[in-house]
Amino acid sequence: MSKKKVIVVGSGNAALCAGIAALEKGADVLMVEKAPEQEAGGNSRYTAGAMRFVYNGNEDLMPLLLNPNDEKLAHTEFGAYPKEKFQQDLLNFNGGMPLSMHQHILIDQSYDTLKWMGEHDIRFEPIYSRQSFEKDGKFIFWGGLTLEAKGEGVGLVEAEMEAFKRLGGEILFETAGEELMIEDGKIRGLICEGPKGKMEIQADAVILGSGGFEANAALREKYMGGNWGKSKVRGTPHNTGKGLEMALAAGGVFHGIEDGCHAVPMDLNMPNYGNLEIPYIERKHYRKICYFLGIMLNADGHRFVDEGENFRNYTYAQFGRAILNQPKQFAWQIFDKKVDSLLYSEYRFWDASFVEADTLEELVGKLEGVDKEQAMKSIQEYNAAVDQESGFDPTILDGKSTKGLRLNKTNWANTLDTPPYKAYPVTCGITFTYAGLKVDDKAAVLDEKDKPIEGLYACGEMVGGVFYYGYPGGSGLTSGAVFGRLAGYSAAESKTS
Ligand SMILES: Cc1cc2nc3c(=O)[nH]c(=O)nc-3n(C[C@H](O)[C@H](O)[C@H](O)COP(=O)(O)OP(=O)(O)OC[C@H]3O[C@@H](n4cnc5c(N)ncnc54)[C@H](O)[C@@H]3O)c2cc1C
């Protein structure tokens, strides 16, 4: 039997897992990546490489670790992240909907997929600095997210690329997938635009791993609504939704919550796209998510969210959208000296945008683009409504709230009364889109009648219906790896007619 010829579109985590899996099953794999080599790897390279998966105790993690003999491990308690917990974490963001088939696949195949990555020399390290605390000489992990790829997102993509090439995979950079070649409802190949112009590449199957449409303002407006055209983009400029458009033209179906996305408050003056040239921690410095320690005012001078609704992990990915929905798509975050030392380090980064003053009146005078009179009124009303009886404690939901406002602040409501006062201008930065193509349990792209389009598969951000109104951190990469592996196996093993 002749070898299956598979084209993989994109070179992020999902595409690379698809390529490795297809090669493992004996296919010939050609990857086409739109970006030049130094910008390849998609949003996957912008990440911390943190991956969420089911595990039942320390022993499950040992086969995944770069250094399983590290002495520190004897003093580390990873706890467990059982299937039921992952299910609940996803359900919390489903807006009342039950878990989808795709979410079950993500959860059920998460651990096996991580182990499989380990077999291909992709190694992980405990996230001691951000996901554990030290107690009685032990490192105790919390939150179910315990491991990140060696070398974060950049290291993850490098290790996957090495595995892909070791198995015989080939890649063409600066080569964009433009149109699917389709005959009698079956995929026959892909038309690409490369450095030497257009070319037709024949194949038995095409796997789309070309990311979401978050970097395409026109598509954001089309699917998500007018204001989304104005959002900034936190990651790669190359995820412009071409894969989605190709698949829709071939009969695929758009699936998921149309405007579903991960979007967070970001420095108003951040560049329009992310920057890979700076280290990961610094790359995050445009993020501004300490609103829970103060208040946010819009251009009309009004507060518009309950800044203390919940711990920031549960609100930050939704508050980007809230800011986008305000007049002129910006807001000011306002703090006083009492909380200054609690603001995350990115608020002190050398190019953070902010204004400062010794009185509230002076500060309000410096809030560019804001109705000053209403802003002053909102601050005074807020200050007068703060419950002075309860104590402030940012480590718990302290219940220190405002009373009687049109929009109360539920926790951490401190009076703004101690100079100097600082205000930071913020806007919305989109991380990635949640809606995409409808696929079946083999990652095959489905048509309107829920019938697989022969030879067409999708993975990663391209798959709709994995996330709806939010997501537990670290699930994006896992989803890419799970559906990538599935797509690779399916494409290599499918029967061709
Ligand atoms: C700043 C930031 C931090 C994040 N942190 C985390 C984290 O710690 N953990 C986590 O799980 N998730 C995180 N995410 C989300 C995560 O990045 C995504 O869920 C995941 O990387 C998506 O992988 P993917 O392979 O589907 O897409 P991508 O990695 O984006 O890859 C898509 C690739 O397709 C290419 N492409 C696009 N169009 C074409 C075309 N027409 N032809 C050829 N190639 C094309 C692109 O250039 C790109 O290389 C973060 C995202 C950002 C932006």
Q: Does residue 90's CB lie within 6 angstroms of at least one atom of ligand 1?
A: no
Assess contact for 320 and 304: CB atoms under 8 A: no
> Sheet containing 132-135: which strands, arranged edge to edge?
76-77, 138-141, 132-135
Task: Summarize the confidence of residues 58-85 as an average pLDDT.
Answer: 95
Determine which residue's CA is closest to atom 35 belonging to ligand 1: 10
* Residue 203 contacts residue 190 (beta carbons within 8 Å): yes
Neighbours of 270 (CB within 10 A): 21
Distance 287 CA to ligand 1 centre (A): 18
Does the C-beta of 46 come closer than 6 Å to ligand 1?
Answer: yes
Ligand 1 center–CA 265 separation, angstroms: 20
Q: Which pLDDT tens digit goes with each residue over 85-113? A: 999 999 999 999 999 999 999 999 999 99
Distance 394 CA to ligand 1 centre (A): 33
Nearest to 46 by CA among 230, 239, 323, 329: 239
Asked if the bond preceding 420 is cis, omega within 30° of 0, the reply is: yes
The pLDDT of residue 134 is above 90: no
Q: Is the CB of 32 under 6 A from ligand 1?
A: yes
Separation of 473 CA from ligand 1 center, angstroms? 14
Output the pLDDT for position 226.
Answer: 81
Whether the pLDDT of residue 38 is over 80: the answer is yes
Does the CB atom of residue 436 touch ligand 1 within 6 A?
Answer: no
Q: Distance (Å, rounded) from C-alpha 151 to C-alpha 66? A: 11
* Alpha carbons 28 and 22: distance in angstroms, whole number: 8
Residue nearest atom 38 in ligand 1 by C-alpha distance: 210
Give the whole-angstrom CA distance, residue 241 versus residue 274.
17
Q: Report the nearest atom of ligand 1 relative to the CA of 479.
A: 19
CA of 239 to the centre of ligand 1 (A): 8
Mean pLDDT of 159-169: 98
Determine the atom of ligand 1 nearest the C-alpha atom of 15. Answer: 25
Rounded CA gap, 418 and 38, in Å? 48
Q: How confident is the model at residue 496 (pLDDT cuts 50, 70, 90)?
A: low
Mean pLDDT of 291-297: 97
- Residues 81 and 53 sit within 8 Å (Cβ to Cβ): yes
Identify the residue whose tokens are 């080569």: 175
Beta carbon of 307 within 6 Å of any ligand 1 atom: no
pLDDT value for 1: 63
pLDDT-above-90 percentage for the chain: 87
Residue 216 CA to residue 192 CA, distance in Å, equals: 19
209 in contact with ligand 1, CB cutoff 6 A = yes
User: Is the pLDDT confidence value at 283 over 80?
Assistant: no
Task: Output the CA–CA distances (angstroms, integers) from residue 86 to 53, 76, 124, 426, 471, in the order listed.
Answer: 8, 21, 20, 32, 11
Give per-residue pLDDT as tens, 346-388.
899 888 999 999 999 999 999 999 999 999 999 999 999 999 9
SS (H, E, C) 215-229: CCHHHHHHHHCHHHH
Q: Taking Cα atoms as reference points, which of 300, 428, 304 lies closest to residue 370?
A: 300
Q: What is the pLDDT of residues 183-231, one digit of tens each?
A: 999 999 999 999 999 999 999 999 999 999 999 999 999 999 989 999 9
Q: How high is the pLDDT of residue 439?
A: 98
Cα of 336 to ligand 1 centre, how many Å? 37
Query: If you average pLDDT over residues 130-135, what whole number do you get?
Result: 80
User: What separation in Å is there between the alpha carbon of 211 and the centre of ligand 1?
Assistant: 5
Binding site membership of 8 for ligand 1 (Cβ less than 6 Å): no
Instruction: Evaluate whether 455 touches 205 at the Cβ level (below 8 Å).
Output: yes
Residue pLDDT, tens place only, 236-282:
999 999 999 999 999 999 999 999 999 999 999 998 888 777 666 66
Atom of ligand 1 minimally distant from the CA of 274: 1
Q: What percent of the chain has pLDDT over 70?
A: 98
**Number of Cβ atoms within 10 Å of the Cβ of 339:** 19
Between 143 and 47, residue with greater pLDDT: 47
